[in-house]
Amino acid sequence: MARSGGGGGVAWLALIVSLVALFFSWKAYEHSGGRVGDVLNTQVEVGDESPPDWRAALDEAQETLDKARETLDSDDVARVREKLARSFENASEGAKRSWRGLDRDLEHLQAQVERGGSRAKETLDETLDKMRRIGS
């Protein structure tokens, strides 16, 4: 009966090569300023309870637009759009999709306010309702 063998030497060679690679990568890490304590003492927070920045910005935008209802001008809407755009930069993809739709509504509102359109207040109310739905 023929016995198959071999491969043991190849496995040992692969192990030695991988250990040498590990040694060199660790030395490169230390050379770049890394320390063993940095790796071992790394803490990860899971399930942060605080709401994302965009929710607070959305609440503030609702408040700003609602308070300025009678004296709303296009600059007010432009400032709200800019602030919301910055706050949604790091949001999830789903939140960003909602933001893009909301931004289109705010752009429409801004154009109506610039033209002095009669539907501006109605559009404002629809936009505020959409903001409440996104924020909840």
- Among 5-9, 25-29, 39-43, the minimum mean pLDDT is found in 39-43
Backbone φ and ψ for 107, nearest 5 degrees, come out as -65, -40
**Domain map (residue ranges) of the chain:** 8-40, 53-135
Measured distance CA(129)–CA(33) in Å, rounded? 52
Taking residues 41-51, report their average pLDDT.
54
Give, as one character, the DSSP assignment of residue 135.
H
pLDDT of the residue at 46: 56
Terminal-residue alpha carbon distance, the chain? 74
Backbone φ and ψ for 37, nearest 5 degrees, come out as -60, -30
Q: What tokens does 105 get?
A: 């509504």
pLDDT at 62 over 80: yes
Closest CA to 106 of 82, 86, 134: 82
65-119 pLDDT, tens digit each = 888 888 888 888 888 888 888 888 877 888 888 888 888 888 988 888 888 877 8
Q: pTM, whole model, 2 decimals?
A: 0.57
16-35 pLDDT, tens digit each = 999 999 999 888 888 777 77
